[in-house]
Chain A
Amino acid sequence: MENKITISPVTRIEGHARVTIHLDEDGKVKNAYFHVDQFRGFEKFSEGRHFSEMPVITERICGICPISHHLASAKACDDILGVDIPKTAKLLRELIHMGQIIQSHSMHFFELAGPDLILGWDADPRIRNVVGLIQENPELALKAVKLRKYGQRIIELVAGRRIHPTFAVPGGVNNALSPSARDEIMSGIDEMISYIKEGIKIAEDYIEKNRDLCNKFASFSTGYMGLVKDDGSLELYDGKIRFMDKDGNILKEFKGKYYLKYIGERVEDWSYLKFPFYKPLGYPDGVYRVGPLARLNVADKISTPLANEEFKKFKAIGYGKPVEGSIYYHYARLIETLYALERTREILDDPDVMSQDVLVLGNVSNEEGIGVVEAPRGTLIHHYWVDEKGTIEKVNLIVSTGHNNWAMSKAVEEVAKAFVDGKNLKEGMLNRVEGAIRCYDPCLSCSTHAIGKMPIVVEIYDNSGNLLESVVRD
């Protein structure tokens, strides 16, 4: 073997973000911002390709939720063909989407959020992480691994490969479900439900003991947006977009294809990531949140029994109004994971899931195609414009982290004002600022479509604009 040993960095980190905290003359926080300093590029990269390639191109945007991009893209392609895909194809697409939700949500809670909740905000940073989590509760850590693996296994069994499948194609999917795959997935559901219920119990205990903090931590008013079924229940794969104002009034329900009528995008000079807003209310009055908290806020109920019981407890937190505290994102994420597991069983119990009728063929019929799904982090919109041969002329992608851009910056500001003392800076203060961002589980490579070298830099400036402190977390 060649005897050549050199230290070399690996490159895979999802994006490059920066938090700046600005102090007044008394050392108190005046403003704080969450900056995303990268650029968008996948839209340009896709121009000139054939539309049918898009489901396999766009899933490369993100290594964490490739399936969401794959499916939003396939739905946009269906729209270009002008076809209604077979029921079995819909079921199978939704099935891998549930796998996506399970793996992404469970990884976030146990790996990233769990240390804050289980070990505490001010715990020694050397143990306030997965290391501490493993030491505190190795069985729980193992269950987190199994949950993530189970979600990935659903994708692998149904779509043929764990990442970057070619499964969803314009007009449906390219493979029927095998009985052995169905049986394997089904055999694991009860165990996984027991694991996620354990996570929900952790979240509920935390909320119970820290009710005041949960209600105040990065709590602010915004609108909320998410998909719902026709009966108003939670929907993650295919439904109508519901927009709710800060008081809980449903302002509008519309099909995803009309998103441009209702969603505008604002550019700020301190971030490359755009700031979407609800057009009828303008900017900034129309800023809104997406993702687990938003979805549970806009939904009237959940269609599966166990998740719906948890949903009722969630709704009780807001006393009929939207739940505003950002920490509740974690709780909502776990409830959605429970729903995804129950929904997986429902799909597998549907006799149509084993049908071989999985694809309809068609020709380019429309110059535009729009696909919308609820990705783990929120509403994901793919919009393609094509010529008569189906060549992509223009692409617009609005990703979940983009929708939450304003909210993440607001969360950072709220928490910095509440906890950061510029004259007596402590590590736990900065951890709370990061924790505010963590609630939203941002995926910066997805939102900026670019490779970065470090996840976050926190910079603190005095009243004269001098940099007082810079903390790099990588």
Chain B
Amino acid sequence: MKNLLIVGFGNEFRRDDGLGIKLLDQINENVDKLKVQELSIDLVDILKEYDIVLFVDASIEGGPISFKKIEKEEKFSPLTHHLTCEELLFWIDALYKRSPEFYLLSIRGYDFDFGEELSEKARENLDLAKKFVQNFINETISNKLSD
């Protein structure tokens, strides 16, 4: 079983929507990373191999950064191809009888227009998120060592 995976998702060409992807580019710690544009069902076969998965995404509201533990949820979007973190956790539990710990770090974005540059506020939030993730990684690794 692998310990920690960080999943960044979003669209780099929709400005602040790419915050999750851009954050992964700034994380130099030796940890498994995965970039995706959307969350889809095939990911469950990858995520099930980990004890802890940290998702990083842009958010359209809330504080500069927000963090929560994901609980599995039997949701269903009848037309969309995109799954939520909660749905992915449900799939893993239902199909593989596994329950990795899922967390979501949301980084507040402001400008979701076409383009590659982040808004100024989003850049500030990205710095906060980077420190948060580095602390998260260090804490996860130290917890693992003390096990």
Contact = CB atoms under 8 A, between A and B. Distances in A.
Interface string B113-136: 111000000000000000010011
Identify which of A12, A13, A111, A149 gathers the most chain B CB atoms within 10 Å of its CB: A12
Contact of A6 (B12, B41, B66): B66
Nearest to B46: A149
A2 B139 CA distance: 10
Contacts of A163: 35-37
Interface in A127-183: 129-131, 134-135, 138, 141-142, 144-146, 148-149, 151-152, 162-164
Nearest to A146: B45
A58 B112 CA distance: 17
A151 to B, nearest CB: 8
Contacts of B112: 11, 451
A456 B76 CA distance: 13
Given A11-B57, A148-B40, A5 B67 contact: yes
A41 interface: yes
A9 B82 CA distance: 14
A261 interface: no
B127 to A, nearest CB: 14
Contact of B78 (A12, A44, A144, A456): A456
B66 A4 contact: yes
A9 to B, nearest CB: 6
Contacts of B60: 9, 11, 453
B59 A456 contact: no
A196 to B, nearest CB: 15
Contact of A64 (B40, B44, B77): B40
Identify which of A11, A17, A45 gathers the most chain B CB atoms within 10 Å of its CB: A11
Contact of B114 (A41, A138, A164): A41
A238 interface: no
A172 B11 CA distance: 26
Contact of B68 (A8, A14, A41, A473): A8
A130 B42 CA distance: 14
Given A7-B66, A456-B78, A145 B84 contact: no
Contacts of A142: 95
A12 B57 contact: yes
B42 A149 contact: yes
Contacts, number: 166
Contacts of B45: 145-146, 149
A200 to B, nearest CB: 20
A141 B94 contact: yes
Contacts of A135: 94
Interface residues of A, number: 62
Given A60-B13, A107-B41, A163-B35, A10 B59 contact: yes
A208 interface: no
A38 to B, nearest CB: 12
A112 B114 contact: no
Interface string B52-72: 000101111111011111000
A443 B35 CA distance: 21
A108 interface: yes
Identify which of B44, B77, B91, B135 gathers the most chain A CB atoms within 10 Å of its CB: B77
A210 to B, nearest CB: 20
Given A60-B13, A63-B38, A10 B85 contact: yes
Interface residues of B, number: 56
Given A163-B35, A163-B36, A103 B78 contact: no
A419 interface: no
A97 interface: no
A42 interface: yes
A438 B90 CA distance: 23
Nearest to A147: B42
Interface in B1-54: 9-14, 17, 35-42, 44-45
A268 interface: no
Identify which of B14, B57, B78 gathers the most chain A CB atoms within 10 Å of its CB: B78
A64 B59 contact: no
A4 B64 CA distance: 11
A27 interface: no
Contacts of A474: 77
B40 A8 contact: no
A204 interface: no
A86 B40 CA distance: 34
A129 B79 CA distance: 11
Given A8-B59, A10-B57, A112-B79, A63 B95 contact: no
B82 A8 contact: no
Contact of A455 (B13, B78, B87): B78
Contacts of B74: 126, 129, 131
Contacts of B17: 11, 451
Contacts of A17: 79
Interface string A107-135: 11001100100000000001001110011
Kindly list the 9 A-B residue pairs having the minimum CB-CB distance in the complex, ordered from nearest: A63-B37, A129-B76, A63-B38, A8-B106, A6-B66, A45-B114, A8-B66, A148-B42, A149-B42
Given A8-B66, A130-B76, 4 more contacts: A10-B84, A60-B11, A63-B82, A142-B95
21 contacts: A4-B65, A6-B68, A8-B62, A8-B68, A11-B17, A12-B9, A12-B39, A17-B79, A45-B114, A63-B11, A64-B40, A107-B41, A112-B81, A135-B94, A148-B40, A148-B41, A148-B42, A163-B37, A438-B78, A443-B81, A451-B14
Interface of B: 9-14, 17, 35-42, 44-45, 55, 57-63, 65-69, 74, 76-82, 84-85, 87, 90-91, 94-95, 104, 106, 109, 112-115, 132, 135-136, 139
